[in-house]
Chains A and B, each alone.
Chain A
């Protein structure tokens, strides 16, 4: 079977579509980063669902706007291709590597990332690494790699407060072409996992179901749809 590699950025994963909440400094740092300003390396970590993959892709979108070539590499999708995959990445001026916690404990991948880091650094290119845990908690066994990862500024992407989550859901609904009432947004947050990845996926599925049913998204519709399709939340 031939493995299919899809490295396309999500078109809506931009800084404009990101609700910074308490993360405004991080966003400012990354916007500057994508303009070749400030430090050439940083590390971001966050629990899943706080928008880490979104901001890493946003860095690439922003870099493109600034005429810098960039690449987003989610290791969750690339592990199957083997660590050799990282060999040529230092040729790209802006590199964003996501999910690096997944390679912790894998000697071959750890060494490959270590060498890729060194090559990118040596070339004066820019690198952002992203993980679901703080660097010291990822479980890397290669100390050289861990020391490289902690070399730059490291930031944890913080969860949005409820008020911001409601706003974000409403903005996402608007982009999809419908209005999401405050009641529905609060209902979703009160009854389903509160991370934004899950919330946005529920929203997306509600949109699809409502279009198919040709029904407006109302609270009774949401309740009945979600209660009859528990899988919608996953």
Chain B
């Protein structure tokens, strides 16, 4: 009977597909899953939608037609069509562990879920071995490695924070992969914080909170990305707080990433923030030139493309903000070379990336550098260009000159011109002085790093 009714839905789908545009069908009808329920000798065709929004949409726009079609196609007996929000969504191509896939179905016991069906969703391509290290991320790499070797012990929880596109997610997966390489049966779950929120909302709607809790508390390692997205979501924070406590007490490893130092996140409860800092907190900084070049060389190798060092150096020097952007530029170079059949030379890259490089140049102007540095040191813009030599003004000015040399392609005389028509040897002196101070003074080193980050991200 059930098979018969499901084939009824298949036929209904066929009709709807022919009536609606491909796009409409794909977005609204395709995600629906049909389920047959019989109660008091009445057959119900329950259409399960991934969220309430889809339910409302279908109800408003397509339900009348669906009912018409079902009536037409099931002429022998009556079938009542119902719409519901489902916690079970269609699995992606590659099976990935998630609460929806294996934890939320009410007819699956949690024991079955966690002991037999768990297949980790860690991305196998992100490992410690292919993580390019540099001074900007070495500490985070070493800490993550330590956690992976001895999960659930001293460094629990671990929190990696830093700007976007700097390799935080790579480190999460690398930890997961290492844990799995030592113990292939370990239940390692990677997820974005949004997934946790969405799962919880569905569990609440479907009254499956117990299954939700059991699922999340049963993992050996929870790798959760971008926790700043918990901001302002009080109910999710509450639930994550309890999950966190349960995992922590059970000595199950928790690793989180965040785009800023956790104390700086607004909209997250203090008690949660304080827990985030219980274990080990490490930062990743934007990669320096050497690391950017190494990343490019490695990505090219992974794509089986030979990249000359001078070409990698050129791209690395010009694109500074983050690894994703570097990768994007390299992908474009590779695609252009592939489709034009040309060799990847320096001239080729300059041509292939000319609009991108133009945008980069436009972003970092000497004017912008002067304004940013003046703001950072709380001096007036007029002081930046003045002849005053007091240290409180001269040092920021030297810093701005050094930044201009580092971040723009202007010549020294041009930079000198921007600073009130000075001599180019003044710029040269400033650059040498700042370089020396960065090596000897932690304060100046910190300022230099901060300004570089502000100006390039």
Q: Which residues of A line the B interface, CB within 8 A?
A: 2, 5-9, 24-25, 28-29, 38-39, 42-43, 60, 64, 69-73, 82, 84-85, 87-89, 91-92, 111, 115, 118, 122-124, 134, 136-137, 143-144, 146-148, 150-156
Contact = CB atoms under 8 A, between A and B. Distances in A.
B31 to A, nearest CB: 5
Given A69-B26, A151-B327, A154-B332, A7 B356 contact: no
Q: How large is the interface on B (under 10, 10 to 19, 20 to 34, 35 or more residues)?
A: 35 or more
Nearest to A92: B26
Contacts of B21: 6-9
B423 to A, nearest CB: 34
A143 B457 CA distance: 9
Q: Is the interface of B mostly helix, strand, loop or mixed?
A: helix
Nearest to B89: A91
Contacts of A28: 339
B203 to A, nearest CB: 17
Given A5-B24, A7-B23, A25-B335, A147 B325 contact: yes
B22 A69 contact: yes
Given A111-B229, A151-B165, A153-B335, A136 B324 contact: no
Contacts of A70: 22-23, 26
A28 B339 CA distance: 7
Given A25-B335, A88-B50, 14 more contacts: A5-B24, A38-B338, A39-B331, A69-B22, A87-B51, A88-B28, A91-B30, A92-B27, A143-B163, A143-B164, A143-B457, A144-B259, A153-B331, A155-B332
B356 A154 contact: yes
Contacts of A39: 331, 335
B340 A25 contact: yes
B322 interface: yes
Given A84-B51, A88-B31, A91-B30, A152 B359 contact: no
A134 B359 contact: yes
Contacts of A118: 192, 194
Contacts of A89: 27
A92 B331 CA distance: 24
A2 B60 contact: yes
A123 B335 contact: no
B324 A148 contact: yes
A152 B92 contact: no
Interface string B33-66: 0000000000000000011011000001100000
Interface in B77-126: 90, 92-94, 96
Nearest to A137: B359
Contact of A29 (B22, B51, B94, B339): B339
Contacts of A146: 164
A73 B24 CA distance: 10
A216 B457 CA distance: 58
A92 B29 CA distance: 12
B164 A147 contact: yes
Contact of A151 (B23, B31, B324, B340): B324
